[in-house]
Structure 1
Amino acid sequence: MAAYAICMRDGQLLLSRSPAPDGGPPEWVLPGGGMEHGEDPHDTVVREVEEETGYRIEVTGLLGVNSSRRVVPRRFGRAVDHHGVRLLYEGRVTGGELRYEIGGSTDMAAWHDLDAVSALNRVRLVDVALRLWRERPASGRGQLVEE
């Protein structure tokens, strides 16, 4: 379980940058991350956004839920069947100052013009969240058709 925020301001989207797990180029991600044991998802997204960007946010809504399942190859020929459930919130920056996370899962945070996001090296969840933000489906289901 994880919780992420889509924060928009003046036509820009707040994103964090994460080193690629395979050593490839860094990827832009939504600020957010995994829930700690016993933590409420609302508290998770508030904590994670502040850790990764320096900003305090007010959660203004739940946009939806995204579920993913994939088999991930591991060392020694074993594979892990990973199922992730991600809650996607809308947030509004209420304080703090933009800064980079030190010693965490991201190394940079920045505002990006919304029309430039499609050109960024980004994780698929960014597109899922933007679709939810634009369409606001009553079901709250954040799936994209695989291409």
Structure 2
Amino acid sequence: MKKELRVSAYAVCVRDEQVLLARWVAGDGTRRWTLPGGGMDHGEEPVDTVVREVEEETGYRAEPTALLGVDTIRRGWLRRLGAPGDFQGLGIVYEARITGGELRHETGGSTDLAAWHPLDAVPALPRVALVDVGLDLWRERPPVGRSRLTDPSIT
């Protein structure tokens, strides 16, 4: 069984009761909102990853201000030749503030829109679970950096 690990870094950017999100386009064309961020390049520092990814996906320059926590997902999948695979995604979640740039949409990437959304409107958005996990980490600031949404032992 092939095993794959993908390490990513994401930003929770909140200002004026709004959160900055990027709309992710899945391989099947499905579109859902996510936190700006993405995969870490080999040799890259996670904090540099989140700065680069926020700018690529939103046009903004961001400064990470706090490490909020870590999110992990695990999925089984079928490889091209039909053999099973085991995927684990490890997401490092930072709080960040916008320091410059202008809002724009990414072209030729994994997202197609970037926008500020009122925090109270997020539950109605089509979104990936990472949005909820990131906002939970931002609100709760758990000491070990693990969201109650992903850890059933935390109530």
Aligned residue number for residue 129 of structure 1: 134
Q: Does 1:12 align with 2:18?
A: yes
Q: Does 1:59 align with 2:95?
A: no
Q: Is residue 27–residue 121 contact of structure 1 (8 Å, CA) maintained in 2?
A: yes
Listed one character per residue, the Cα deviations across residues 2-60 of structure 1 (whole Å, up to 9, x for unaligned) are 00000001000000001123333x11010000001100000000000000000001110
- Compute the displacement of 1:76 (Å): 4.0
* Residues in 2 aligned to 1:142 and 1:86: alpha-carbon distance in whole angstroms: 12
2:28 to 7, 14, 22: 22
CA RMSD of aligned residues (A): 1.4
Letter in 2 for 1:34: G
Aligned residue number for residue 34 of structure 1: 39
Distance 1:23 1:102, change over 3 A: closer
Letter in 1 for 2:61: R
- Compute the displacement of 1:80 (Å): 1.9
Gaps of 5+ in 1: none
Equivalent residue pairs, number: 145
Q: Is residue 66–residue 143 contact of structure 1 (8 Å, CA) maintained in 2?
A: no
**Which consecutive segments of 4 or more residues in structure 1 shift more than 6 A?**
none
TM-score, scaled relative to structure 2: 0.89
Distance 1:87 1:100, change over 3 A: same
* Residues in 1 aligned to 2:15 and 2:138: alpha-carbon distance in whole angstroms: 13
Distance 1:73 1:143, change over 3 A: farther
Aligned to 2:109, the other structure's residue is in SS state: coil
Letter in 1 for 2:33: W
Q: Is residue 9–residue 37 contact of structure 2 (8 Å, CA) maintained in 1?
A: yes
1:89 to 73, 94, 103: 94
Q: Give the fraction of aligned pairs with identical amino acids, expressed as a percent.
A: 63
* Residues in 1 aligned to 2:107 and 2:35: alpha-carbon distance in whole angstroms: 17
TM-score, scaled relative to structure 1: 0.93
Q: Is residue 49–residue 56 contact of structure 1 (8 Å, CA) maintained in 2?
A: yes
Q: Is residue 70–residue 93 contact of structure 2 (8 Å, CA) maintained in 1?
A: yes
1:139 to 141, 144, 149: 144
